[in-house]
Amino acid sequence: MNTIDFDNFIDQKWSKSTRNMRRDQLKRLNLLFSTRQDKFYIDEFADYTEGLRRLKDFFDNPRKYMADCPVSTYMVATRVNYVECLCIALKMNDKFSSESYVQYVKYLDDLRMELEQERKKTKSEKISIDFVESIESIVKYLDADISVSLKIIIKLISLIDINENAYGVLRISDLINTTIDPNLSSEYSYLDLDTGQYNILDKCTKNRVSRTMMLPLEFTEYVKELYSVYPRKCKWLLIKNKFRDKYESTALYVGFVKLTGISYYELRRQFVTYLQSNSTIERIYEVARNMGHSVKIAILRYNDKQCDGIEFDEMDGE
């Protein structure tokens, strides 16, 4: 009968702890067919149908084979480790059926795919939570002694509700190029503080695509209140100083991360994942366009969630 001595089942590249782990795994795999522990009996796994059945039974109920097992079932990552160990052992013997070996390798590939999907799902759910937590962490700065422009940015973000509005986390550069003076509405993007209608001009945005959306009236009233203290009317949504000058740089991006500890780029990425996790495809299209993305860019570059079922258009944008 084909066997492997446990002491010979090593790879010189393995660390001592890995050698011990693999040896212990191989001994436990022996238990699927018998209690013999003098060697690993390869031929017991020649019938891959029965071998796979017992492997799956072992993973689902390890205490059936080892009474002192600390867990009642094995996680996917542990299953991958065991089947990797088995495949290494089977490959060591030239006489083992290649047909059976292929079936065990296929099972290993299936487990690895399941593990990868599990990890992606966990990562996606974590980031979806991250956006909500990020918002909760930055709204406190609305009561802090910070610049008016940062307050306006934070207020707009805090009012995001994917069921009620569709503007998302807008680029700061778009907000910088926004006037609240109707006399300048043909030259710059324009926010009507009375109605909440926001028109972004193609020449004033990064992707050169014009768009119109509605911002919450709670936001526009907030802006009015902030600017009511100035003796002269402000022309810009975001002002650089007490003289109400327009920003000509992206210094606000730096100011935002210094204040909140969160980069604005990261916040936009978190939001796209949150949006896809909690909304419809139609809503994703609408919000992505309002943010200045093509849907393709929004989902593939700024998102950590699987995007099955979404058809992409060719609208440019980042």
Same domain, 64 and 155: no
Cβ proximity of 90 and 42 under 8 Å:
yes
User: What span, in angstroms and rounded, lies between the C-alpha atoms of 245 and 224?
Assistant: 17
Which is more confidently placed, 60 or 266?
Answer: 60
Under the banding of pLDDT at 50, 70 and 90, the label for residue 49 is: very high
Q: Is the pLDDT of residue 306 over 60?
A: no
Type of residue at 217: L
The answer to whether residue 310 sits within a structural domain is no
What confidence score (pLDDT) does residue 81 get? 93
- Tell me the per-residue pLDDT of 86-107, one tens digit each, with 9 for 90 and over: 999 999 888 899 999 999 999 9
128 domain residue, yes or no: no
* Same domain flag for 159 and 63: no
Given pLDDT bands bounded at 50, 70 and 90, which one contains residue 304?
very low
Distance between CA atoms of residues 204 and 242, nearest Å: 24
| 296 lies in the same domain as 153 | yes
pLDDT band at 257 (very low <50, low <70, confident <90, very high): very high
Contact by Cβ (8 Å): 169, 267: yes
How many domains is the chain built from?
Answer: 2
Q: Does residue 12 sit in the same domain as residue 153? A: no
One domain for residues 173 and 281: yes
Confidence label for 124 from pLDDT (cuts 50, 70 and 90): low
Domain containing residue 238: 146-301
What is the reported pTM? Answer: 0.57
In a domain, 124, yes or no: no
Q: Does residue 123 lie within any of the structural domains?
A: no
**What is the per-residue pLDDT across 189-232, written as a single tens digit (0 to 9) for each?**
999 999 999 999 999 998 899 999 999 999 999 999 999 887 67
> Is pLDDT larger for residue 90 or for residue 70?
90
Q: Are residues 153 and 110 in the same domain?
A: no
Q: What's the confidence (pLDDT) of residue 42?
A: 92
Q: 309: pLDDT confidence band, cut at 50, 70 and 90?
A: very low
| Predicted local confidence at residue 301, as pLDDT | 46
Does residue 143 carry a pLDDT above 60?
Answer: yes
